[in-house]
Structure 1
Amino acid sequence: MPKVLISDQMSPKAAEIFRARGIEVDEITGLTKDELIKIIGHYDGLAVRSATKATKDVIAAATNLKVIGRAGIGVDNVDIPSASGAGIVVMNTPFGNSITTAEHAIALMFALARQLPEADASTQAGKWEKNRFMGVELTAKTLGLIGAGNIGSIVADRALGLKMKVIAFDPFLTPERAEIMGVTKVSLDELLAQADFITLHTPLTDSTRNILSAENLAKTKPGVRIINCARGGLIDEAALKAGLDSGHIGGAALDVFVEEPAKASPLFNTPNFISTPHLGASTDEAQVNVAIQVAEQMSDFLLTGGVTNALNVPSLSAEEAPRLRPYMQLAERLGSLVGQLVTEGVKGVTVEVEGAAAQLNIKPITAAVLAGLMRTHSDTVNMVNAPYLAREREIEIAEVRHDRETDYHTLVRVTVKTPDGDRTVAGTLFGMTKPRLTEIFGITVEADLSGRMLYIVNEDKPGFIGRLGGALGEAGVNIGTFHLGRRNTGSEAILLLSVDDTIPDPLLASICRLPGVKTVKALTFA
């Protein structure tokens, strides 16, 4: 039974779902780093919000951990490279609090437009400063979105309902998607110059850090009002303070800060500035939604292999997983075969799919190939860290789908690029469930790939099979299956046979000395 640790405060729904799915769960919150390191090795899954820090040291101690689930969007508290290197899937729940965060941005936009916090404080202080608080309408104003993904698109929809004009800067926004959303795609400079309100909905990356820098804030329309419910660090806070003080910026509302918790900030008590303590996801509905989603996603992965909203491995839905599992097994064995036979440095890997395989999600198939290939060098490699390790070794990866007739109903072909040339293996599924080799290094051969096997390249001449059988028989090695292929009559032949026992090195050496033998290699498949 898989075991999960919930280490942050989370809706009880999460634990209920884990237990209902047959997963053992412990809820232990408020752990120090040392306390977490002491117990994390007992768990297959770790469910967190933002308090728990899954650092490099924690991941190093997590010897059984398979998945980290973040109930929320940001994963700043998870060392993703370390998790990837350890073969741990990292998931988040990007949609569970999308509406809540979008609504908070809209609420802050209203608050800025009508100076609501200051008007409230003034009124409750016994002042009746009706003429002091002159607001602006949102109708017909231009809203500039920096980031038009899931949350940004919801904000756009709400803003259009308020009869605002919406423009968006997002490098990944296509013209077709912009048209569907009802927004105008613009450059960043165009957005800065045109927007009456700017709201940010982008992750914090090297390219987005300080995207509203002092230089860019100076390009904004005088009187612009700025809202950030995304991530601290997207705005140069000192430059924002200067813009508010000068009056160039008409108002700003921040739910996020560079340093959190923000107990002190030069922005505090600045006129026309509103702040909230990272409340974007803080509604009862959102807390329940992200808890349910993270528990369901982690359960799917631990029980069926389904991967949803992962940040370091291709997605594979729980529905896809059973259908893809035989293909992934085939792909892993093809990768393992070529990995055990190719001793030269691998420079590139190409994965081709034909027939029924061409209609499937190819990413998990490729990851399985890489896992099989690289597991020959380390027994800790899996589908999560294999692509990461391949990139680390600068191995080029290519994927090709073929929409063409083939001799087989479905086919997966793996080509490895080496300094001595390309090496190709291919396989199919018998009955759509059983992996079967169909080609090895240009020679047609049908064979199972399982258990202990012996790979031999020899001259295609009479008498060889008898000599080989005699050598194995004298050594007491029983042959399970026997598969033979050749290029042409009398040329080079390949022999793959399964054996019941491990073949000792002295026996391999004696087989190598048999007349006509070119290569001998003992193979092992899980």
Structure 2
Amino acid sequence: MPKVLVSDKLSPTAVQIFKDNGVEVDYLPDLGKDKERLLEVIGQYDGLAIRSATKVTEKVIAAAANLKVIGRAGIGVDNVDIPNATKKGIIVMNTPFGNSITTAEHAISMMLSLARQIPEADVSTRAGKWEKNRFMGVEVTNKTLGIIGCGNIGTIVADRAQGLKMKVLAFDPFLSPERAVEIGVEKVELDELLARADFITLHTPLTEQTRNVLSADAIAKTKKGVRIINCARGGLVDEAALAEALKSGQVAGAALDVFLDEPATDNPLFALPNVICTPHLGASTTEAQENVALQVAEQISAYLMTGEITNALNFPSISAEEAPRLTPFVRLAEMLGSFAGQLTETSIHGIRIEFEGNVAEMNTRPMVAAALTGVLKPLLADVNMVSAPQIAKERGVQVETVTREQQGAYENYIRLTVITERQERGVAGTVFANGKPRIIQVKGINMEAELSPSMLYVTNEDKPGHIGRLGTLLGDLGINIANFNLGRMDVGGDAIALVSIDAELTEEQLGRIVALEGVKQAKALKFNA
């Protein structure tokens, strides 16, 4: 039974979800704040469920000997060292949609509050003043709202704004024209949005490309008197530039739920009269907190119990329906990669993976990750399905995938080709009806072989007597043959023997095999059982 640690506060219902799914769970909601204690205990857990208080640092990951998955109840994963988790093969998940409605509603609330100066009017009225003429607001009806980042939350904001009879512009490089039409927004470039919008709201993650997207230069391009709302991430708006624009009147008001430095207890923007500030409340509703807690419990349980992967930040998703079908093909892809990787002796320039038949219609990304793992592990050792694609990219290995309909006799066919500075070497396989992966071709030579933990691979000249000599030598060496698989290109040409053996070969034994008459290459291969 897998074991999960909940180190931050989650609802009792979320904890019960783990139990209902057959997962043992330790609910220790204050443990995340105790760094030393967390380091002591993390090694005994398969899963970790957190909010923002637990810091999953490099040290924590190094101590997490058995950890397979980290689930963040919420969107932001700034408190998780994702690169180190990836290197160790730990899936990192979040719950990106549980907060969406709540965050979108907060942005709309901030916009309306800003338009009517509600917080300042409230303070004034409570102070015994009746400054009706001071708080002259603006309507949002028929105004133009510019949305920077039109993903899930931005789309909800657009829908709510249209309900308020606003014209909606959207700047998002990943928003297709068809999707823009579908959700009723006008897709524009950033400069056009800045020039036309009466209100601007941000709903994009903080990346190097989006940092200070509203810089001093960008703010200078806005319509005079624009109002800015940020309920996404601190750092999207240049706070110093915003302060100057508020003082000059270029920006009529700003409503901020997020700040560059949090908790924000001292910020120059706080002193300005035309600014509304809230303490990162975007996700702070009872419904949202419950939703993300339940969602992360379901996601972690599904991964540990069935292999289903949802909302992972460092691995392709695998649905519950896909997992059973994919498993044998993922295994086949890794074995093909391992086979090719163990035979490769020079630097790898590229890897081509071809999927043919029914397997080509499946989710191929996990199979690609498995194949890369198999290829790279003999060379780098510390590689896993999560880290392999990133390692290949970092090392400049070009990865090509090809999918096509069935062309040969096999309903499912995967072919992996390793491209080196000297040659291309391909190996192909399939999965039979019993779910077992088989090799069906090596270097263009047809053969059928089931891979076993210890194998001997031999390339030789196709001449009489070789099989007898090889069998006799293995007998003399005390090596029992479990299975003997043969193939050849043509009569008298190159032939291949793939022999399943009951013991691992020593270097001295392998040397004697290489010395046999007609042998061109001999390699001892190992595969995970």
How many angstroms does 1:378 deviate by? 4.7
Match status 1:120 vs 2:105: no
What does 1:70-109 correspond to in 2, within 5 Å? 70-109=72-111
Query: 1:415-466, CA deviations, whole angstroms, 9 ceiling, x for partnerless residues?
Result: 1110112111111111161111111111111111122111001110111111
Aligned partner of 1:136: which letter? V
Match of residue 451, structure 1, among 427, 450, 453 = 453
1:144 aligned to 143, 146, 169, which one? 146
SS of the aligned residue for 2:147 comes to strand
Per-residue deviation at 1:375? 2.0
Deviation at 1:504, TM superposition (A): 2.7
Q: 2:509 aligns with which of 485, 507, 510?
A: 507
CA-CA distance at 1:195 after TM superposition:
0.3
1:348, CA displacement in angstroms? 1.1
Which residue number in structure 2 is paired with residue 409 of structure 1?
A: 411
Counterpart for residue 47 of structure 2:
45
Q: Residues 367-411 of structure 1: CA distance to partner in whole angstroms, max 9, x if unpaired? A: 010111122235542211111221222211111111352221011
Q: Alignment partner of 1:267: what SS?
A: helix
Partner of 1:8: 8
What aligned pairs does 1:164-175 form with structure 2 within 5 A after superposition? 164-175=166-177
Mapping 1:178-327, distance limit 5 Å:
178-327=180-329
Pairing 1:299-378 to 2, within 5 Å after superposition: 299-378=301-380
Is contact 2:144-2:198 (8 Å) kept?
yes
Contact in 2 for aligned 1:352/1:414 (Cα 8 Å): yes
SS in 2 for 1:268: helix
Aligned residue in 2 for 1:465: 467
User: CA separation in 2, counterparts of 1:221 and 1:432?
Assistant: 67
Q: Does 1:424 align with 2:420?
A: no
Letter of the aligned partner of 2:6 in structure 1? I
Q: Is the 8 A contact 1:244 1:271 kept in 2?
A: no
Query: Which residue does the alignment assign to 1:19?
Result: 19
- TM-score, normalised via structure 1 length: 0.98
**Over residues 299-329 of structure 1, what are the superposed CA-to-partner deviations in whole Å (9 max), with x where a residue is unaligned?**
1111221111111111111221111001101
Which runs of 5 or more residues in structure 1 are unaligned?
none
Which moved further from structure 2: 198-207 or 29-38? 29-38
Q: Residue deviations 1:445-488, cap 9 Å, x none?
A: 11111221110011101111111111112222221111111111
Q: CA deviation at 1:35?
A: 2.6
Q: Report the secondary structure of 2:271's partner residue.
A: coil
- Secondary structure at 2:75 match in 1: coil
Q: Which moved more, 1:505-514 or 1:257-266?
A: 505-514
Cα distance in 2 between the residues matched to 1:114 and 1:450? 73
- Paired residues of 2:87 and 2:384 also in contact (CA < 8 A): no
1:390 aligns with one of 377, 389, 392:
392
Q: Is the 8 A contact 1:92 1:311 kept in 2?
A: yes
Amino acid at match of 2:366: P
Asked if 1 retains the 8 angstrom alpha-carbon contact of 2:358 and 2:406, the reply is no
Letter in 2 for 1:9: K
For the residues of structure 2 that align with 1:72 and 1:450, how far apart are their CA atoms?
Answer: 44
Query: In the aligned structure 2, how far is the partner of 1:407 from the partner of 1:359?
Result: 17
Which residue identity does 1:270 align to in structure 2? Answer: L
Corresponding residue for residue 68 of structure 2: 66
1:423 and 1:518 map into 2 onto residues whose CA distance is: 15
Give secondary structure in 1 for the equivalent of 2:18.
helix
Matched to 1:459, the amino acid is E
Contact 1:201 1:229 in 2 (8 A): yes
Distance 1:13 1:348 in 2: 48
Cα pair 1:167 1:185 within 8 Å, conserved: yes
Tell me the matched-pair count: 526
**Residue identity in the other structure for 2:24:** E
Q: Aligned letter for 1:164?
A: M
Which sits farther off after the overlay, 281-290 or 494-503? 494-503
Q: Distance in 1 between matches of 2:277 and 2:232?
A: 13
| C-alpha separation in 2, matches of 1:7 and 1:315 | 25
Q: Secondary structure at the match of 1:489?
A: coil
Match of 2:35 in 1: 33
Q: Distance in 2 between matches of 1:345 and 1:181?
A: 49
More off after superposition, 84-93 vs 190-199: 84-93
Shift of 1:152: 0.3
Q: Deviations over 1:333-366 (max 9, x none)?
A: 0001001111111111111101001101110010
SS at match of 1:131: coil
Q: Deviations over 1:56-95 (max 9, x none)?
A: 2221222221111111111111111111112111111100
CA distance in 2, matches of 1:48, 1:392: 30
Are 1:326 and 1:432, in contact at CA under 8 Å, matched by a contact in 2?
A: no
Structure 1 counterpart SS, 2:378: coil
- Letter of the aligned partner of 1:247 in structure 2? G
TM-score (norm 2): 0.97
Deviation at 1:6? 1.3
The answer to which of 116-125 and 275-284 deviates more is 116-125
Q: Which digits, 9 at most, give the CA deviation of each residue in 1:169-195, with x for residues without a partner?
A: 001111011010100000100000000
The offset of 1:48, in angstroms, is 1.3
| Alpha-carbon shift at residue 412 of structure 1 (Å) | 0.6
Aligned-partner SS, 1:376: helix
Q: Percent identity?
A: 62
- CA–CA distance in structure 2, aligned partners of residues 272 and 403 of structure 1: 62
Aligned-partner Cα distance in 1 for 2:513–2:423: 27
| Structure 1 counterpart of 2:13, one-letter code | K
- Distance in 2 (CA, whole Å) between partners of 1:257 and 1:406 is 59
Distance 2:397 2:381 in 1: 19
Q: Which runs of 4+ in 1 moved over 6 A?
A: none
Letter in 2 for 1:242: E
| Inter-partner Cα distance in structure 2 for 1:101 and 1:335 | 44
Q: CA RMSD in A?
A: 1.2
Separation (CA, whole Å) in 2 of partners of 1:213 and 1:467: 77
